[in-house]
């Protein structure tokens, strides 16, 4: 892709290369459409399993296309996904993966929620150099939400040049996708409907904040301790039970087709 990956524009932009809010919104809408295609519209269900900013590629028109299907697995619609390996990148891994080691469409949704927050806030999901209360991005956004100031989490480099309603929608949607309870996360179809203005914003109860944050902090602290090298960009694969990893790896032809169609 001529413009490389999204992460360099979000985390370490060069002078004059800060993405506008309109560009960011277009990117997250495009990635959402790609995940919807993978989860519901292809002939089989495809789990990407490594959704993150460095795997979002930007074309000449700054459209976001989901790339790197190296960890992807597929299974039949209506079947249960199974896996005994934890794969992905710290900060994008759903909490249940450390317990059951099973990737599902909802674990992809969790990773997409982390992507929404980092695009809106201009920060990585985990920043070991930040103050303790801000180290985990989703916790910090929850705290802003609890104070009734969720838009305060917006990337300061945008200088306030964004649609207030869209910013709030993206931040709240990011929190909804990042719920510690898989059943509380929306499907990618619901995500696309919210981004298109065809569905209402998810309700976020303040009582959910403490439970989610406590669960996430235990999970993050454990994995930061165990996988310090994955704090920034690296992905890891950890065997949770000695199986084959579950699902079916994608063939080179399938990889090529999905890379093209998921970035529609």
Tens digit of each residue's pLDDT (9 = 90 or more) over 123-176: 999 998 889 989 999 999 999 999 999 999 999 999 999 999 999 999 999 999
- Give the alpha-carbon dihedral of 140, 145, 147, 151, to 10 degrees: 90
Active site residues: 50
Neighbour-count burial for 240-263, b at 16+ CB within 10 Å, e otherwise? beeeebbbeebeeebeeebbeebb
* Residue-range domains of the chain with CATH: 7-261 (1.10.510.10)
Tokens encoding 46: 């495809």
Confirm if 173 and 31 have CB atoms less than 8 A apart. no
Below-50 pLDDT ranges, the chain: 207, 209-210, 215, 217-233, 235-246, 248, 251, 253
State residue 254's pLDDT score: 52
Q: pTM of the predicted model, to two decimals?
A: 0.81
State residue 50's pLDDT score: 94
State residue 82's pLDDT score: 56
Residue 37 CB coordination number (10 Å): 18
State residue 229's pLDDT score: 33
State residue 204's pLDDT score: 83
State residue 86's pLDDT score: 67
Q: What are phi and psi of 89, to 5 degrees?
A: -130, 135
How much is the CA Rg of the chain, to the nearest whole Å? 17
Give CA–CA dist 86/66, Å, rounded.
Answer: 20
pLDDT-above-70 percentage for the chain: 74
Closest Cα to residue 81, out of 73, 91, 70?
73
State residue 102's pLDDT score: 85
Give CA–CA dist 192/33, Å, rounded.
Answer: 7
State residue 124's pLDDT score: 94
Q: What are phi and psi of 46, to 5 degrees?
A: -115, 125
Tokens encoding 127: 């920043």
State residue 46's pLDDT score: 93
The model's pLDDT over 191-207, given as tens digits with 9 standing for 90+, comes to 999 999 999 987 886 54
**Residue 221 Cα distances to 71, 143, 216, angstroms:** 24, 19, 8
């Amino acid at each position: 892709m001529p413009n490389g990956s999204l992460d360099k524009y979000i985390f370490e932009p060069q002078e004059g290369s800060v993405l506008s809010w309109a560009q960011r919104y277009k990117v997250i809408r495009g990635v959402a459409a790609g995940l919807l295609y993978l989860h519901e519209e292809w002939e089989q269900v495809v789990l990407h399993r490594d959704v993150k900013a460095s795997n979002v590629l930007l074309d000449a028109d700054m459209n976001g296309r989901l790339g790197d299907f190296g960890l992807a697995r597929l299974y039949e619609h209506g079947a249960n996904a199974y896996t005994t390996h934890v794969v992905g990148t710290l900060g994008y891994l759903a909490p249940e993966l450390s317990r059951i080691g099973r990737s599902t469409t909802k674990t992809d949704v969790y990773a997409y929620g982390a992507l929404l927050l980092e695009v809106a806030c201009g920060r990585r999901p985990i920043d070991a150099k930040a103050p303790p209360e801000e180290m985990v991005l989703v916790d910090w956004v929850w705290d802003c939400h609890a104070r009734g100031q969720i838009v305060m989490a917006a990337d300061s480099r945008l200088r306030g040049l964004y649609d207030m309603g869209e910013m709030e929608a993206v931040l709240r949607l990011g929190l909804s996708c990042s719920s510690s309870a898989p059943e509380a996360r929306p499907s990618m179809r619901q995500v696309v409907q919210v981004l298109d203005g065809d569905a209402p914003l998810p309700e976020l109860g303040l009582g959910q904040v403490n439970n989610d944050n406590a669960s996430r902090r235990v999970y993050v602290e454990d994995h930061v301790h165990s996988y310090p090298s994955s704090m920034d960009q690296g992905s890891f694969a950890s065997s949770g039970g000695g199986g084959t990893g579950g699902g079916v790896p994608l063939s080179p032809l399938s990889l090529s087709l999905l890379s093209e169609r998921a970035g529609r």
